[in-house]
Amino acid sequence: MKRKILLIHNGYPLGEEVGDKVRVLNMAQSLQKIGLKVFFLAFYKRGFSALRKERANAPMDVKCFFIYTLPDRLGLTGIAALYRALYTWWIVKRYGIELIQIETSLSASCVRFVDRTIPVFTDFHADPVPELEMNGHSREYIKKTIRDIRYILKRSQKVIAVSNNLLMNLREYYPYEGKTAVLPCSFNEHIFQEVNVCASQELRKELGLEGRIVLCYLGGTHRWQCIEETLDLFMRLRQLDPRYFLCIYTNGDLSPFMNRLNLLTGNYLCKGLPYKKVPLFLSIVDAGFVLRQKSLVNINASPTKTAEYLASGAMVVATKYSGDAPVLIQESGCGFLLDGVQPSDNELMALHKRILSYMESREIYASKARAYAFNERVWISNERKLAELYEEYGL
């Protein structure tokens, strides 16, 4: 008989196609493939209108519980945590759960009433504390988060992290000497396999981009994502070569950046994209930006967009603080690493020459970038590591 595992995610992004969600659903399917009977407990805080669709698209043969939880604010933090912990305890008892894996440290308090003989694995997508500090959360809430992290590290038999940097920083700030594994974030290879060369060429022609060097920003508009610095870098590159064109693919608010964008009229495109359209619109791109400032929020990360650029055949332009992007650039040989978000004139010229070199051998480099992404950054490579983690539990 298959052993029963409960996968828990507090803060599940109901109705949103984001990296966190892709990772969790991949995790559920992989746990099932390696021989476990999977139960999935997803606590959501918004997106109720997407609930029916979410249930319809849930992984087959995974018993899912989508449960609304109160937000961790307005003085409701303690009540919300107690509710989640009691609900988790009931699920564990009701279904005879034998193993638990929690997604993100924000799910830590969910297991506080669970029998301590039940092994717990924790998958850290990030260390939330630096981001909470950056966003101005209260000291009390930050202290609670630190307590949760310390608790779950002590409670966990094994810890998973999205990057080596995150693992090293967890060990430095919250001493942990237990068993660990790095399972980097992966991209959705299925939708990227569907793009064909003809469709890409037609779109590029339709947008009037033939003969242009197309750069790209893909992502949100949070301050830490460095859109302002990306625009400044793009404008400096245009001074070196007027063929540069910038595609900005975001569903975020660009109004704070309109002063800069107005200076680029005719040389940029802003477009919000549904998730399934991302591969086609990335396929017209020659180089993609992942610029980040020096911050633990950034250093610990594993940005999905880095692999998505490579899967599209584009080179990556990143800083050394852009999570594990430096690793992907080094291993793939398809990118350029900046020391910071404001490169010197010499560094800028080196970047320009690297982009031109990439363009001269576009087909060769694009093939190399895609091969790396589809070999090294698809979820199947993580699945093998996951199987090894659970080996000692009789799987």
pLDDT at position 314 is: 97
Same domain, 209 and 179: no
Same domain, 240 and 370: yes
Same domain, 26 and 168: yes
Same domain, 106 and 250: no
Residues, the chain: 395
pLDDT at position 392 is: 79
pLDDT at position 177 is: 82
Same domain, 232 and 359: yes
- Paired tokens of 298: 């950034």
What is the rounded distance in angstroms from the CA atom of residue 124 to the CA atom of residue 158?
11
- pLDDT (tens, 9 = 90+) of the chain, 395 residues, equals 789 999 999 999 998 878 888 899 999 999 999 999 999 999 999 988 999 999 998 888 999 999 999 887 767 888 999 999 999 999 999 999 999 999 998 899 999 999 999 999 999 999 999 888 888 888 888 998 999 999 999 999 999 999 999 999 999 888 888 889 999 999 988 899 878 889 999 999 999 999 999 999 999 998 889 999 999 999 999 999 999 999 999 999 999 999 999 999 999 999 999 988 999 999 999 999 999 999 998 999 999 999 999 999 999 999 999 999 999 999 999 999 999 999 999 999 999 999 999 999 999 999 999 999 999 999 998 998 999 999 877 55
Buried b (16+ CB within 10 A) or exposed e, 307-325: bbbbbbbbbbbbbebbbbb
Same domain, 114 and 258: no
The CATH code of the domain that includes 164 is: 3.40.50.2000
Same domain, 206 and 340: yes
Number of Cβ atoms within 10 Å of the Cβ of 113: 15
What is the rounded distance in angstroms from the CA atom of residue 76 to the CA atom of residue 97?
28
pLDDT at position 74 is: 65
Same domain, 120 and 91: yes
Same domain, 50 and 194: no
Write the DSSP symbol of residue 257: G
Burial class (CB in 10 A: 0-12, 13-18, 19+), 327: middle
| Element holding 124 (H helix, E strand) | strand 120-124
Beta-strand pair 36-44/179-182: unpaired
Task: Say if residues 32 and 38 touch (Cβ distance below 8 Å).
Answer: yes
- Paired tokens of 242: 């007027």
Same domain, 254 and 369: yes
**CA dihedral for 346, 351, 352, 353, sign (positive or negative):** positive
- Paired tokens of 136: 């101005």
pLDDT at position 203 is: 96
Same domain, 156 and 211: no
- What values do phi and psi take at 31, rounded to 5? -60, -35
**Count of domains forming the chain:** 2
Task: Say if residues 163 and 301 touch (Cβ distance below 8 Å).
Answer: yes
Domain that residue 278 falls in: 189-376
pLDDT at position 45 is: 92
Burial class (CB in 10 A: 0-12, 13-18, 19+), 259: exposed
- What values do phi and psi take at 295, rounded to 5? -165, 145
Give the strands of the sheet with 244-249, arranged side by side.
Answer: 268-271, 244-249, 213-218, 287-290, 315-319, 335-338
Give start and end residues of each alpha helix (H) in 123-176: 128-134, 139-155, 164-173
Buried b (16+ CB within 10 A) or exposed e, 124-134: bbbbbbbbbee
Q: What is the pTM of this model?
A: 0.89
Same domain, 152 and 201: no
pLDDT at position 229 is: 97
